A and B are shown apart, each in its own frame.
Chain A
């Protein structure tokens, strides 16, 4: 799981997909592709974007939601919270938070 997470974050395109989902959650594959192409000039094929999404899903950073005939992608930041707290200095006892 942890390996999946770091692997997912290591790629700039995947980080840009996450940036886009921060702006608006619940995007279709079409919108994700359109944002990559126009915001970043990345002319990726739909298949390539699908593969990036599969890596993000494996790391649980993106969750796919089927709603009737549509499929939306949502951002899930939970795995990131675990990563951040892991190296944060624990609060010393007696100190005010």
Chain B
């Protein structure tokens, strides 16, 4: 059994695709570092190479177009266990057919890539829906969130365009990193914090770090949220369908 090890990066994965082609072999699985390959596995270490990965990526772009690239990149962001082999076989199918294959949905790998990318896209959209900013004492708008997939790269553009005149921070509390947008210079910067000034459980800023008017706006929002519900039509199951409970802990109107 042949197993490829790659470094877990997107470039590393593309390099693996290249090497499988170059070495004329088909691995049984492609694993990130620290994953266990099993007892009798014959392993090959893939060394990430910018040149090789670029060649693969350019080929994908040329044959498949932008949409194919998007599907594959989103699939990578899903980080679902074993997604690498679907990724590899999708690329191989694409190069064999030499035309876009994203519509060949009866092919198991194409379907899987399509479904994974849709999952990631949906999660990104949910972040646009359920992210809640709180104003800090210095005027910065701060929003923690805990997404299933690493979707920060997919949502910054939206907030950058929309909140161009305010300084904001979006923080992924699962992966422990965030981005900060500076409205003066129109720049987005990545950062990590070790000692957060907010409650990780509720996402709430500590009282002294909070803008004096913040509580007032939150109260208004909760008032509004409550008074919009029509009691005769109460349907909590429907509410949970649309707004899964895993988002509640950071929602101003839902957290305790």
Task: Report if A and B associate in a common complex.
Answer: no
